[in-house]
Amino acid sequence: MANGKYDHIIHMTHHVSEKHPRLDVSSYAAQFSPFAALTGYDDLIVETARFTEKRMVPDESELEILNRKMLAVAARIGEQPEVTLTYFEPDALKDGGRYVRKKARVKSVRPEDGVIVLADGSLLPIEDIADIQADFLRDASASWPDEA
């Protein structure tokens, strides 16, 4: 071995601190592992890639059908009819949202407030409802409530 300027320390004993305990192997290795230089970047990538749907805008005939279904539900409100609602749930973080199907009992229809009240107490904006399904709505012979 060649003479170097640090040859005098090669055989010295390793210093052991009395204040700080020695790190275990995994903790020691963790100091040299990669770190996230851009905090939150990975979360941003995941959020950007998350799919959201656009809200569909119903045409006049679809609105008429939905309105008739809503009237039929309102006509049976004393029974708290069970329906399956398809509604748009806006995304809190970015444009768009998702369509949700929920089976629930309807407690009341409040067009003056723009909501329907479900038996569980939740309020659903009428404008977010895309479809209403129920056994009593499937029957082609079911009469629509008279419009005055």
Chain segment 98-140, per-residue pLDDT in tens: 999 999 999 999 999 999 999 999 999 999 999 999 999 875 4
3-state secondary structure of 3: coil
DSSP character string of 18-60: SSSPPPPHHHHHHTTS---SSTTHHHHHHHHHS--BPPP---H
For residue 85, pLDDT over 60 is answered with: yes
Does this model's pTM top 0.85? My answer is no
**Predicted pLDDT of residue 147:** 45
CATH code for the structural domain at 60-138: 2.30.30
Chain segment 18-61, per-residue pLDDT in tens: 898 888 888 877 777 776 677 788 888 888 888 899 999 999 99
Question: Which part of the chain has CATH 2.30.30?
Answer: 60-138
